[in-house]
A = this chain, B = another copy of it.
Amino acid sequence: MPVTFVPEQKQFSKEKFQKVNLFDTERMFCDIYCFEPGQEQKAHSHAENDKIYYVLEGNGDFTVGDETVKGVPGTAVLCPPGVDHGVLNSGGERLVVLVFMAPHP
């Protein structure tokens, strides 16, 4: 049975933010992204894919298009196809984000 306990999956690096895959199918993937303070996922886009960010812990700046919101635990953000999006850990704590993308890129 495909089941995982997400708090045990967290991985951090001083080099760059870490992506840890939880589930990966032909149709979608689900990861956690783990950011040390100051680390970021630079703005980028996917032509045909939706991405959702859901903040698990910490806080950061989530940019979609030309808007930026402060995300805290419980914040969910949708990044539509073709729209630039990125994340900056602007807080003083580690930032952990659940990420879902469909269809699989």
Chain A residues proximal to chain B, CB less than 8 Å: 1-7, 22-23, 25, 27-28, 30, 49-50, 52, 54, 62, 64-65, 67, 69, 71, 74-78, 80, 98, 100, 102-103
Contacts and interface: CB of A to CB of B under 8 A. Distances in A.
A20 to B, nearest CB: 12
Number of copies of this kind of chain in the complex: 2
B77 A1 contact: yes
Contact of A69 (B3, B75, B103): B3
Contacts of A23: 50, 52, 76, 78
B1 A65 contact: yes
Given A49-B27, A54-B98, A102-B103, A76 B22 contact: yes
